[in-house]
């Protein structure tokens, strides 16, 4: 299903780019045909990284609105992502859902604004090249799949909405991080937050983060045996999956 949806997304994006390119070149352009085609192709190539940056900025802005610091980790070779830094442990579930929606919303907004500008010829029609890239990223992130680079925004939102095991571990990790950021020493964190959690896939980034927190917890408490165990486990997971 994931491969089929990904292929369909590529085909739909290519078709959309072709249609917009045709109308840009034949109807609204201020240049000769060859120059217009060249401009449009260049803009298509540039639009994907631009749409990617805008997507991550959406997470940043939506997160800032609800007290979540989303730090973009941009990559134009692999999947981009955001590090989530919670400033509070209150209402984390709703705040993370809202923050996650930010990227999808910005891509949708680019499609709408680009479409309006194209229809009403408010700007050079070649700028419509941002629409296919935004459409591609919107579908890629909205569909609830687990890609090689991690979970899509849609999957994160679905898990949080259903409060799955993965969501419970994610919220547990973020709760601990929020407490530490507010000044609580990690050795004073309630052990239930670290250990009274469901078992999830070891390649889940929440599980890897939890393993690191367990290492830091036992290290701070002076339990060298347990600290060494979780340190080695964390290094193994990091080297394998990150």
Give the model's pLDDT for residue 29: 56
Interval 45-49 mean pLDDT: 90
Radius of gyration of the chain (CA): 22
**pTM of the predicted protein model:** 0.90
The answer on pLDDT for 136 being more than 80 is: yes
- In percent, the amount of the chain with pLDDT more than 90 equals 67
Read off the pLDDT of each residue in 190-211 and give the average, rounded to a whole number: 95
Mean pLDDT across the chain: 90
pLDDT over 60 (residue 28)? no
């Amino acid at each position: 299903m994931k491969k089929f949806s990904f292929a369909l997304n590529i085909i739909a994006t290519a078709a959309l780019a072709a249609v917009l390119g045709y109308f840009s070149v034949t109807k609204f352009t201020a240049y000769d045909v060859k120059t217009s085609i060249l401009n449009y192709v260049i803009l298509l190539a540039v639009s994907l990284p631009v749409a990617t940056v805008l997507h991550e900025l959406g997470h940043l802005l939506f997160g800032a609105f609800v007290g979540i610091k989303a730090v973009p980790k941009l990559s134009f070779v692999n999947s981009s992502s955001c590090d989530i830094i919670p400033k509070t442990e209150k209402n984390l579930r709703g705040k993370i859902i809202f923050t996650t929606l930010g990227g999808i919303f910005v891509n949708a907004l680019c499609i709408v604004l680009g479409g309006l500008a194209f229809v009403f010829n408010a700007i050079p029609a070649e700028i419509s090249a941002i629409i296919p890239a935004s459409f591609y990223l919107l579908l890629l992130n909205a569909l609830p799949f687990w890609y090689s680079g991690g979970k899509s925004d849609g999957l994160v939102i679905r898990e949080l909405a259903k409060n799955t095991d993965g969501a419970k571990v994610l919220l547990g990790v973020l709760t601990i991080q929020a407490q530490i950021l507010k000044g609580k020493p990690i050795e004073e964190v309630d052990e239930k937050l670290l250990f009274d959690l469901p078992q999830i896939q070891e390649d889940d980034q929440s599980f890897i983060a939890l393993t690191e927190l367990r290492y830091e917890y036992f290290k701070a408490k002076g339990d060298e045996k347990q600290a060494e165990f979780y340190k080695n486990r964390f290094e193994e997971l990091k080297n394998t999956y990150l």
